[in-house]
Amino acid sequence: MRLLIMGPPGVGKGTQAVGIAAHYGIPAISTGDIFRANVKNQTPLGQEVSRIMAEGGYVPDEITNAIVADRLTEADAAEGWLLDGYPRTAGQVAALDDELARTGQAIDAVISLVADTDVLVERLLKRAELEGRADDNAETIRNRMVIYTEATDPLLATYRERGLLVEVDGIGSIDEVAGRITTALDAVRA
């Protein structure tokens, strides 16, 4: 399986990505994890990412696209993968399309975890309280939800038009949501 997973902040996308990947025997590839590992290890890429983020910027698509393309060539991704956090822009969608065409691969499905914003705000406020994240207040969280929706809706529309979008209710226990996802993906594979 070659999969993408998308969902608003707080929906449990990272948790579900790991479970889906384990279920299908494919790597869960998180661009955020790749960036954090490079920053921690102070690689040349990590130093560049640190500089960009210190200036308040976003890592440019060219860097992100190259990292993902490189990661997809690793041996553990030969039979499939799940991308978490990528693509995030129309340019990244186009770059992924180009890379997959170049390597003769195709996306099997795009999982979109959906949830009521108020439920997610409450969930994130509880997490902020438990983790001592003073900067996570209701206004900040709602603003991140708006930014996510504005950035992601066009991507979801693209994948919906291609018949790849699989929308799954992201509210419930980890196991309940995982069950919904695998049921929906197994139906796609059938």
Which residues are catalytic, by number?
13, 88, 127, 133, 144
What pairing do the DSSP bridges indicate for beta strands 28-30 and 109-114? unpaired
Listed residue (9, 68, 22) closest to 182, CA to CA = 22
Between CA 112 and CA 184 the distance in angstroms is 11
Number of residues that this document lists for the chain: 190
Listed residue (20, 167, 2, 5) closest to 86, CA to CA = 5
**The tokens of 21 are what?**
């990947």
